[in-house]
A and B are shown apart, each in its own frame.
Chain A
Amino acid sequence: MKTLITARGITKHFGATRALDGVDLDINAGEVHVLLGENGAGKSTLVKVLAGIHGHDAGTIVGRASLAVIHQELALVPELSVAENLFLNRLPRRFGFVDRAEMRRRAPELLNRVGLDVDPNAKVRDLGIAQQQMIEIARALDKDAGVLILDEPTAVLTDTETDRLLQIMDQLRRNGVGLVFITHHLDEIQRIADRITVLRDGRSVGVLGPRATTRHMIELMVGRPIDEQYPRAAGRPGQPLLRISGLTKRGVFADVDIEVRAGEVVGVAGLVGAGRTEVARAAFGVDDYDSGTVAVDGKPLPRHDVQAAIKAGLGLVPEDRKGQGLVLTATVGSNLELVTLTDRDRSRLHDIAGKLRIKGRVDQPVKELSGGNQQKVVIGKWLLADPKVLILDEPTRGVDVGAKVEIYELINRMTAAGRAVLLVSSDLPEVIGMSDRVVVMAHGRVAGELPKGATQDQVMALAVQEIPA
């Protein structure tokens, strides 16, 4: 097998911290090579060194000429067309002007290679995130990249979109492309990986084959044995703390009834687009709704009024951490006190930061933290406010395994203290493992409710069911 890139002893410092410490990595033609590790383990740094974005302090890299990286943040111009984005930088020209005909002729070829069926004249802005990603991949392939690095591409994709992406990766592999794949989803790794390099604290701690077990991967990643992936400790539920009844917003969701009792975790599962986030936002007062009621601890909430919802004891950890949860320009401390602005007691800040095991100082800019620690800050600002009911929308998306378990422990601690948690999650094992009951939504309606111990098949059967409108 042909080795496309050989990296030996890569070492990289940022100031006093050693981000990479003698990492070896081979990328062969026709393989999917997974980089696995917790946030902060050095995966992104390694990718950036390979791509030449960062220099390295020691080590050698051979053969990185033909490399393309699909970063997590997509590099597309939303206002330009699909075709223009595909040929950005090297637009075909005639008489000094853009040759639109040539562009239109060549675009479908490229799109075909990634199996994307969109109008090349459509604006990128109007496409879904998965389609945008495919366009980036198509663009990278046009440069005849021998090695394609995909940095957490599935973090923003639905299950079907992920399936599609894995298929395309498989096809590229057959065509001899070397793929480096970064993901936190262990099931995806088991489906596609040929080799797995596990990084921990900037070192390569092991190279695994395609048949590695989940447990093995996790233990290598965190460096210690893991007892329980979903440590849910359910208690006896008390009185209802959150009651959503008949909640309806025309064209988005209808007749949604959800009840969460004290000490309970109720999961909300469903396909992307089933209306879960929309219900959560409406209940919290971010968006308006047409009819129905939301009551916290028996007290009905006014519509479309976040302040009233918070006052009544409701909290929401939104799905988009950077876009909606954090003030990235501010410090960890400022973010923690965002909800409880009037509370001038700094000692509680340090207290909560310690309790959450946030790796970072209170006066540190929050953007310097890893994804998992950032998420802990978002949850922490609500813990300071001590709401009766906390709605968590995709709380562990893009969070590494170690931090995930810590977030689950926080959920346990909340319910043990008599609070209620509504857990919206697309991660099926998580929503099943951490919830005492699972409400499944489909097409904006509650398709059914499953008790603890439901299987993934049962959830999916409800999630895909057709409900007459």
Chain B
Amino acid sequence: MSTISIRKYASENGALAGLLVLAVVIAVMQPAFLNAQNLLNVGVQAAVIAIMAFGMTFVVVAGGIDLSVGSIAALAAMVGALTAGPLGLVVGALCGLVNGALVSYGKLPPFIATLAMLSVARGLTLVFSEGQPHETDELVTFLGSNLTPSLPLPLLLMLLFFGVTGLVLTRTNLGRRMYAIGGNEEAAKLSGIDVRRTKLWIYALSGLFAAAAGLVLAGRLGSAGPQAAAGYELDAIAAVVIGGASLSGGVGRATGTLVGALVLAVLRNGLNLLQVPPFWQQVVIGAVIALAALLDSLRRR
């Protein structure tokens, strides 16, 4: 392999290299990490954030941001628990559509539009739940269950959403439009891309993915809580950024986001195994996010 292709490989897989280093370090310090059951747990823990982050990837590639995914996940799960799972998905997509309409037709900055939705969706969750957790029905509980002892459904769902995200980004017009809009919105417009309608779809997809993540989370826990998934939007953004996407748009891949979500899950799991106190875990995770972004920015120079 020539120098150039090695460099290209490294720059496209920096996050993957980081994940492997992280895993090796943890495995050396605590061999129980490599236990099959533990690795499955890591996958399940990564699933909710990963599914949310895949939706976020669309938004970030298109140059936007979606702060409302945690709240939408909670609202979708609550609606799913109170009525039926599929309705939760519909509500999530609708919330995303509203985000998209505010951004594209209302011309609000995505930060503001989705910050508003963060509050509205969380508020509605509290209203509908009357502040109480509600048990999920069979269908939703099934989403969080194991098909066989060694085959958790959340893991499969994560891979399914990963595949869909990769396909949308690389093989569909919608995906190509996302890169164009995030890379240069004006050029996209002048090339005949309907920027506003595309953004509508992008935020709707993010809402839909967030709702799916919310249902998987509720399914695992067996109930939907009014404060579920609070703060998850930050993990989702972190996963996307660790995966090498640029918050200024135009850059980002499904594989990167998957790796980003796994980095966060491996880190959490490892810190638990190493019995790092929870308060310190937050500090370490923050430092790792900063480090990942720093390495990425160094690499791009």
- The chain A residues found within 8 Å of chain B, CB to CB, are 15, 284, 286, 306-307, 309-310, 316, 318, 323-330, 334, 337-339, 341-342, 381
Contact = CB atoms under 8 A, between A and B. Distances in A.
14 contacts: A284-B190, A307-B192, A318-B187, A318-B190, A327-B184, A328-B184, A329-B246, A330-B179, A334-B176, A334-B179, A334-B180, A338-B176, A338-B191, A341-B193
B1 to A, nearest CB: 14
Contacts of B189: 286, 306
B63 to A, nearest CB: 10
Given A339-B191, A381-B191, A330 B186 contact: no
A286 B191 CA distance: 10
Contacts of B183: 327-330
Nearest to A317: B190
A286 B188 CA distance: 12
Interface string B165-181: 00000000100110110
Interface of B: 3-4, 173, 176-177, 179-180, 182-184, 186-194, 246, 249-251
Contact of A329 (B179, B186, B193): B179
A338 B176 CA distance: 8
Nearest to A385: B192
A316 B187 CA distance: 11
Contacts of B192: 306-307, 309-310, 339
Contacts of B193: 338, 341
A407 B3 CA distance: 35
B187 A286 contact: no
A53 to B, nearest CB: 13
A462 B27 CA distance: 79
A391 B177 CA distance: 23
Nearest to B192: A310
Given A310-B192, A327-B187, A327-B188, A338 B180 contact: yes
Contacts of A309: 192
Contacts of A284: 190
Contacts of A326: 184, 187
A341 B194 CA distance: 12
A40 to B, nearest CB: 18
A17 B184 CA distance: 29
A371 B4 CA distance: 23
Contacts of A286: 189-190
Contacts of B4: 15
Nearest to B172: A341
Nearest to A316: B190
A327 B190 contact: no
